[in-house]
Amino acid sequence: MHIGAHTSIAGGVYNAVDEQLEYDGNCGQIFSHSPQVWQDPNIDDDEAEQFRSLSEQEGVGPWVIHSSYLVNLCTPKDDLRAKSIDSMQKEVDAAAKLDIEYVNVHLGAHTGAGVEGGLDNAASALDELDIPEGVTVLIESDAGSGTKLGGDFEHLAGVLERSEQDLEVCLDTAHAFAAGYDLSTAEGVAETFEEFDDIVGLETLSCVHLNDSKHECGTNKDEHAHLGEGHIGEEGIEAVVSHDALADVPFVLETPTEDGRGFAWNVERARELRAR
């Protein structure tokens, strides 16, 4: 099972590998810089070499870079669009430098451009990227609040259809649940992934952000819980990690650190639920 967590690059990007091993993870996700500000990745050649060699030596991968929270691909504003494209270009270049396969990004909010206009904006922004060979951009599903796009599977399919890039998808279980896809039962999980396959295509699903939800289905509230401890619950999480179509898909945790439990507890929990 490919299961890991979002880890820190503090002190050097290679430290993320050691941290992942502490959680007993074998894949993972990082930010290349603080996600709250416009900032360029600052990874020197020695750091990158250590990260690549340590990941290979310890068998940790695939890795995902999560883009900045400030990136908004759907925006109709020229200045924000330009900053978002520039930021994404630097992320895919950093991924190539680190031999990281995926860069994950939220579509963002259309802020008045409308759904179709926002999807057009997102696809055309992504088409401006020069994505290095071996790197794939993943569009992440969203919780769907306000004018944010990505909550409906149709939004994901719409960008994939519009874009000339070979894009794939990251499905966040907490986001999908918040957006109204009921993952709390085995039947609901089966129906959700059947719907995803019909609309987007399971062949495009390259990563799952595995999170439970502190809020009920359809609330559009994005707050993660420990696996099996939230409103998705044990039955739903077990059905997700055991789904045949996800046998080889990497699961990345973004669960909280609280109640004396953190990523290590959730990594073990995911493995236990899959082994049932």
Which pairing describes strands 212-213 and 224-225: parallel, antiparallel, or unpaired? Answer: antiparallel
How many Å apart are CA 1 and CA 238, to the nearest integer? 13
Q: Assign 3-state DSSP to the chain and report helix, strand, coil percentages, each to 5.
A: 40, 15, 40
Q: Are 65 and 32 in contact (CB under 8 A)?
A: yes
Angle between helices 45-58 and 78-98 (to 10 degrees): 60
Q: Which residue has the tokens 């789904």?
A: 243
Amino acid 191: pLDDT? 98
Amino acid 276: pLDDT? 86
How many Å apart are CA 101 and CA 104, to the nearest integer? 10
Distances (CA, A) of 246 to 53, 140, 144, 154: 28, 16, 24, 20
How many Å apart are CA 168 and CA 163, to the nearest integer? 11
Per-residue pLDDT 10s for the chain (276 aa) are 999 999 999 999 999 999 999 999 999 999 999 999 999 998 999 999 999 999 999 999 999 999 999 999 999 999 999 999 999 999 999 999 999 999 999 999 999 999 999 999 999 999 999 999 999 999 999 999 899 999 999 999 999 999 999 999 999 999 999 999 999 999 999 999 999 999 999 999 999 999 999 999 999 999 999 999 999 999 999 999 999 999 999 999 999 999 999 999 999 999 999 998
Q: Which domains does the chain have, with CATH numbers?
A: 3-275 (3.20.20.150)
Q: Are 238 and 246 in contact (CB under 8 A)?
A: no
